[in-house]
Structure 1
Amino acid sequence: MRKLLNTIYVTNEQMYLMLDGENLVCKAEGEIKLRIPFENVENIVCFSYLGCSPALMGKCVEKLIPINFMSPQGKFLAKVCGETKGNVFLRVEQIDCFRACGLQLAQNTMAAKFSNTRQVIRRTLHDNAELRDNQEIQKVLGILHDGIENVYRAETIEEVMGIEGYCAQNYFSIFNRLITNTKVPFSFEFRTKRPPLDPVNAILSFVYTLATNEFAAALETVGLDSYIGYCHALRSGRVSLACDMVEEIRCIVERFVITLLNLQIIGEKDFEKQISGAVWLNADGRKKVLSKWQEKKRTDLMHPYLKQKIPFGLLPYVQSNLLAKYIRGDIESYPPYLQK
């Protein structure tokens, strides 16, 4: 089993990455800031427009180390990766499986998402007794419960995604109530994506992007095509399968963001607002979120299917392996991550 992903995050926008023998070198303003042996690197996420040298990209391709290029605000731009070693027959089986069983996969994924979302809300209610009788929150819990039943009545994937959109809209209508620290200097009204229009949306979008990229990398390691999904429509340049699978763990991302806000780890000075109205994490804000995200990836969780503890950072690899086993016919159904 693959070890916990050792990811290098390059957050300095003036940083240039280059190769020096068997080492990854990070250079800024003509000065070497960091030197890391390749043996300690499994993934690179670069929030710099300066990029990296062709020699480094060639070495990363040789070592099968993906380089993900992001804008400083966290928007995915491009990815450089080595040759996919997965069995070509597995990819053919992937397409056949999604055509035949895409509806069932979508139903199970969204049912797990709704159940996990209910757990996020219940966690807040457990810690905050004064919210337990809130009618709006109880109504949303009911909508999510009904959503689990309704997806299994759906006859098309489009119907499933319509139910998901309705449940998500209602969930985010009470999301601000889950931010219980009254000292948090900003609030959340509704979900905005492209671009995010407030600090809470900015953090959510940033961490969703990180999680999606980690699923995309994990899918590549098991030989699945991350661009061919079963829920999200195929779109050039979009890792649709990674977008599908990250739905299972959005609950963890959202709980993580709620914790950052309630503990006031992130504040007003960690954001910048554009003339267009877009709100993004600034360099310091990104560093804080990335540092805490790496800590989160090292924490253990009990996997409901394996019945054993694994680091959270390993979850994308476990789920990708389970999906590959299902596609190959080694297991009868794919078990989405279900939080207890």
Structure 2
Amino acid sequence: MAKPVYVFSSGRLSRLANTLVLEREDGKRHLPVEQVSELYLFGEVELNKRFLEFAAQKGILLHFFNRFGYYVGSFYPREHLLSGYLTLRQAEHYLDSAKRLDLARRFVEGGLVNILSLLRKEEARGNNLEPVLELLEELLARTGEAQSVGELMALEGRAREAYYRTWEALLGEDWALERSRRPPRDPINALLSFANTLLYTAVLAQIYQTHLDPRIGFLHEANYRRHSLNLDVAEVFKPVLADRLVFRLVRRGQVKPGHFMREGEGVFLSEAGRRLVVEEWEKTLQTTYRHRALKRAVSYRTTLRLELYKLEKHLIGEQPYTPYRLR
């Protein structure tokens, strides 16, 4: 089964018959192409047009990151599953303000419901979160009154601010979170930003396996940004996957001062830190649970794909989209 491959070392990527070859100072690593779904490139990697043509032919996505672990962009092969009919429906839902607002509201509500579920679990552990839970429930109720996508995003922003203020009580004063993104100003921001980036690219990779166009989002503006649909879907899964990953890493004491580095005004994960987070991220996506509707075990990576299938059904008028809910 094909799976993502993460490349942290520097070297050169090339093609040898039906194999991807990573040439490094310490030798060569051969990767059978049928075993690779995506390449995450963190190191200084050289490649040529012939390699990209081969990757495109095999439907392999390449995600590029700079030396600080910032996402730079993706080589997104020509969409092989795109459906003209579904693309038109997707564009129609974006251009129709009522339909777009409806979908945007579903993404925001899905994210807030999952934040509430996560915090209720934390309250059951003995944390007093009642004031924040009440505020979040109030903001969730107000999403139904929002008259524009801008209002929805403002409500979602207020909810996340309140939610992030609880992190100091939940994780300890060393991990108090006041969100700063570019650059992240402390370890917790660096950790969360990197986890979110992994989520965005994971959703993007799953979109490639559907008939959806990643450039047409509903909550996030479809403007000059290359992709926006993955950002929409990620809103639902941030509390489920990215935030819970950060909680586990902190509570288990897996992240240590040596996993971070300071450069200028920013704090970033070191290579060792990124390796640690990526390893735990892959474990997260491979974790399985019993799916209520399918009545069988599915992984969280499969869950992302299933979420996109639900979105497809919404767009063609078959079944309204209901976001994934954290149990």
Whether these two folds match at TM > 0.5 is yes
Q: Which residue among 85, 89, 94 is the counterpart of 2:90?
A: 94
Q: Distance in 1 between matches of 2:139 and 2:314?
A: 25
**Deviation digits for residues 265-300 of structure 1 (CA, Å, limit 9, x no counterpart):** 11100011112x211111111111111111111111
CA contact (8 A) 2:186 2:267 kept: yes
CA contact (8 A) 2:8 2:271 kept: yes
1:164-313 equivalence runs, <5 A: 164-179=156-171, 186-252=174-240, 253-275=242-264, 277-303=265-291, 306=294, 308-313=296-301
Q: Distance in 2 between matches of 1:304 and 1:95?
A: 32
**Deviation digits for residues 293-332 of structure 1 (CA, Å, limit 9, x no counterpart):** 111111113445555431011122111111112212222x
Distance 1:238 1:197, change over 3 A: farther
**Deviation digits for residues 127-155 of structure 1 (CA, Å, limit 9, x no counterpart):** 3x2x2xx3xx3211111111111000111
Distance 1:289 1:33, change over 3 A: farther
Give the aligned partner of residue 111 of structure 2.
113
- Relative to structure 2, which stretch is displaced further, 44-53 or 147-156? 44-53
Aligned length: 323
**Deviation digits for residues 156-201 of structure 1 (CA, Å, limit 9, x no counterpart):** 1111111001111111111222215x8xxx3223011111111111
Q: Which residue among 17, 37, 47 is the counterpart of 1:21?
A: 17
Amino acid at match of 2:193: S
Partner of 2:73, secondary structure, is strand
Amino acid at match of 1:104: D
1:22-171 equivalence runs, <5 A: 22-29=18-25, 31-85=26-80, 86-100=82-96, 101-127=99-125, 129=126, 131=127, 134=128, 137-171=129-163
Distance 1:125 1:203, change over 3 A: same
Give the aligned partner of residue 316 of structure 2.
328
Give the aligned partner of residue 326 of structure 2.
339
CA contact (8 A) 1:227 1:239 kept: yes
Q: Distance in 2 between matches of 1:305 and 1:338?
A: 13
Q: Distance in 2 between matches of 1:150 and 1:55?
A: 53
Amino acid at match of 1:123: K
CA contact (8 A) 1:188 1:201 kept: no
Q: Distance in 1 between matches of 2:116 and 2:136?
A: 7
Displacement after TM superposition at 1:247 (Å) = 0.4
Q: Distance in 2 between matches of 1:64 and 1:201?
A: 33
* Residue 10 in structure 1 maps to residue 37 in structure 2: no
Q: Distance in 1 between matches of 2:296 and 2:140?
A: 26
Question: So what's the TM-score if we normalise by structure 2?
Answer: 0.93
Instruction: Quote the RMSD (CA, aligned, Å).
Output: 1.7
- Relative to structure 2, which stretch is displaced further, 284-293 or 321-330? 321-330
Distance 1:339 1:307, change over 3 A: farther
Q: Which runs of 5+ in 1 are unaligned?
A: none
Partner of 2:208, secondary structure, is helix
Partner of 1:42, secondary structure, is strand
Distance 1:45 1:334, change over 3 A: same
Q: Distance in 2 between matches of 1:162 and 1:174?
A: 19
Q: Which runs of 5+ in 2 are unaligned?
A: none
Distance 1:306 1:177, change over 3 A: farther
